[in-house]
Structure 1
């Protein structure tokens, strides 16, 4: 592979071409520091063209309502059995108190996800429990955007209650769910999933649920858990599936689509020992994460213009580096974060707005802007009313 070939690939992408899977693997396999630097520079140029120079952030709060989970993913340090030490299940008052705290701290979004708790039912139905979760928050704070319940949780509810995915998504949307986290994707390759998360949804089902959400008018994010047992070829396969999913939503004019891509580098410090031993390290390799961040921008940017690093996993310094290599958003304040922190992440659990702004301000010619969940700028202290939001998940028109 010649340097000239890499230069040609990068030049083509700057001229608007989509990166092929083969080209993507080529880029990820580069080891020469100068070539890797050129890849990151190209990603930064594409970020400028596709999303502009403004670095956005969102004021949000995580609520992980339970860590009781029936599944046993090999990377997860968060889940607990029902009566195990450290298990918890928030009651309605605790959930409402967290939502109230978020509002008092000017949050515009609640992100809510939890373990798959088979005892979480109301009148014998899991769906009723999830609807109560939504009503607890939306009943008092209808202005908050509720970004809730991964595709894995949708599958869990549907299986528990013998319902279709479309029925579950529609019921949650009607109750007040405004968008869906694109988590539980891990790596969209079933060979990897059989080792990493054998009890979780398979690739086809994850894609089906997310596409169904788009068709029904529920925007989603998209993610990748990287840097564990997967290969560069499998990383590109994952990105290619996300790109195809987004192209389907846009070309079929679904009312919603993917709003952002978030790279989630693997943190294994507290992961179960078999996987931790197999991976051979506890914290992400920043250089690997930055190269994959850049290639993800090059691969997806024509279709998914908003890209975000994880300051929880990379630390704020690493996240700022990612803003120079393809990302246009620094993420949210979170206020609390349990899933990654319990895995041993060193980035912290809460980021004050002033800290995010100061970090962004360290970058040259990169202004900052508060946004809502769907990447619309917030120009005042007033929290936007999510009930009046239109299904416009992209702030930058693709292609």
Structure 2
């Protein structure tokens, strides 16, 4: 069978409702012929239209990176610092509240909180008490804002520091006001890759266990893939398979929460640690490859995880806008500030205005709408009521 015939057969099968399998996804991820890539693009767009329609969503949100002090040394991270290192920061809650007030005045419905793993971040000798105090303070100041907070890595860190189960940590954070978890720290769910990329991080099984537990206690999560570094097409496909299985399990078990979206995070290496940068031999993402992965993610996940978002921080707004023609239906958030990717040398910027996001969506001839964290439409007047 020729490459063209093989790709056509795979795409026809997906359009007939057959779940894409890892082996077939690996074939598609290795396609280099432009005309075949356009066939994949067209199929992804067709499925996107069938699954979520033509509207494109965005969210008014603000990142609140409260510290970059971190005990770990991930080989792709230019964000983390030691406590006494130049550029280290640990923001007081009062500063976060000031930032939050500015965001709410601009219509923000979500704060995204993530930070380094700082062993000194404790109250009463406990990590959980620090995180609960942080969330409680923000929730008291902004009771109507959704707190999208703490990756599975941060949950594992709190659990380890305090000798608590994942469930205990997640239940306490939910009770304090956390509304959902970012599905970051997944990187690539292949431990042979993780041993090189992030050897001190939680392993794949632990990441999945925390996401499953979050769903069981009623906390939705997002899902991500860090792509374009040392991983293979087969490892990308297996990552998508594991995300799909997590969502299928949540559906089968009728858990109170699910995965809300998939976000591709192309690797940015301009200021990443030298060993990995030399190995990857590329400072900025390859847009054409990122678009292909996003299209195949739509084919693989769309029936189970229907919302797909590109990263304008990593691809630039122009690149992210192109992704709307490759199976994506969301353009992400305003962010208002961004540190983790920009400190790695990303060129996409650190903030977008609502007008910029709306104009980008209009440029591809699709209608825009404001959503909340859980993909519910937000009325404009409600969004700006504070």
TM-score by length of structure 2 reads: 0.98
Q: Distance in 1 between matches of 2:281 and 2:349?
A: 23
Partner of 2:377: 377
Deviations 1:268-313 (A, max 9, x none): 0000000000000100000110000101100101100000000000
For the residue of structure 2 that corresponds to 1:178, the secondary structure is strand
Q: Report the CA distance between 1:5 and its aligned residue.
A: 2.1
Map 1:31-70 to 2 at 5 A.
31-70=32-71
Map 1:334-345 to 2 at 5 A.
334-345=335-346
Q: Report the CA distance between 1:379 and its aligned residue.
A: 2.0
CA contact under 8 A between 1:75 and 1:271: conserved in structure 2?
yes
For the pair 1:183 / 2:147, whether they are aligned, the reply is: no
CA contact under 8 A between 1:262 and 1:309: conserved in structure 2?
yes
Q: Report the CA distance between 1:381 and its aligned residue.
A: 2.0
Partner of 1:389: none
CA contact under 8 A between 2:370 and 2:380: conserved in structure 1?
no
Partner of 1:13: 14
Partner of 2:266: 265
Partner of 1:347: 348
For the pair 1:216 / 2:235, whether they are aligned, the reply is: no
Partner of 1:163: 164
CA contact under 8 A between 2:10 and 2:24: conserved in structure 1?
yes
CA contact under 8 A between 2:222 and 2:261: conserved in structure 1?
yes
Q: Distance in 2 between matches of 1:379 and 1:16?
A: 34
Q: Distance in 1 between matches of 2:381 and 2:207?
A: 37
Q: Report the CA distance between 1:383 and its aligned residue.
A: 3.9
Partner of 2:131: 130
For the pair 1:174 / 2:179, whether they are aligned, the reply is: no
Q: Distance in 1 between matches of 2:276 and 2:381?
A: 45
CA contact under 8 A between 1:311 and 1:347: conserved in structure 2?
yes
Partner of 1:394: none
Q: Report the CA distance between 1:30 and its aligned residue.
A: 1.0
CA contact under 8 A between 1:66 and 1:114: conserved in structure 2?
yes
Partner of 1:368: 368
CA contact under 8 A between 1:335 and 1:351: conserved in structure 2?
yes
CA contact under 8 A between 1:227 and 1:265: conserved in structure 2?
yes
For structure 1, the 5+ residue unaligned runs are 386-399
Q: Which runs of 4+ in 1 moved over 4 A?
A: none
Q: Distance in 2 between matches of 1:133 and 1:337?
A: 19
Instruction: Provide the aligned C-alpha RMSD in A.
Output: 1.0
Q: Distance in 1 between matches of 2:100 and 2:107?
A: 11
For the residue of structure 2 that corresponds to 1:382, the secondary structure is helix
Q: Distance in 2 between matches of 1:132 and 1:343?
A: 30
Q: Report the CA distance between 1:16 and its aligned residue.
A: 1.4
CA contact under 8 A between 1:66 and 1:89: conserved in structure 2?
yes
Partner of 2:195: 194
Deviations 1:102-137 (A, max 9, x none): 111100000000000000000100000001110121
Q: Distance in 2 between matches of 1:194 and 1:134?
A: 32
Q: Report the CA distance between 1:384 and its aligned residue.
A: 10
CA contact under 8 A between 2:57 and 2:332: conserved in structure 1?
yes
For the pair 1:228 / 2:229, whether they are aligned, the reply is: yes
CA contact under 8 A between 2:107 and 2:384: conserved in structure 1?
no
Deviations 1:157-191 (A, max 9, x none): 00000000000000000000000000000000000
For the residue of structure 2 that corresponds to 1:239, the secondary structure is helix
Residues 384, 25 of structure 1: alpha-carbon distance in 2 compared, 3 angstrom cutoff: farther
Q: Report the CA distance between 1:340 and its aligned residue.
A: 0.2
Q: Report the CA distance between 1:93 and its aligned residue.
A: 1.0
Partner of 2:114: 113
Partner of 1:332: 333
Q: Distance in 2 between matches of 1:189 and 1:170?
A: 28
CA contact under 8 A between 1:95 and 1:136: conserved in structure 2?
no
Deviations 1:33-66 (A, max 9, x none): 1001100111011100111100000000000000
CA contact under 8 A between 1:144 and 1:383: conserved in structure 2?
no
Q: Distance in 2 between matches of 1:373 and 1:256?
A: 13
Residues 121, 199 of structure 1: alpha-carbon distance in 2 compared, 3 angstrom cutoff: same
Deviations 1:341-389 (A, max 9, x none): 000000000000000001111112x10000000000012321499xxxx
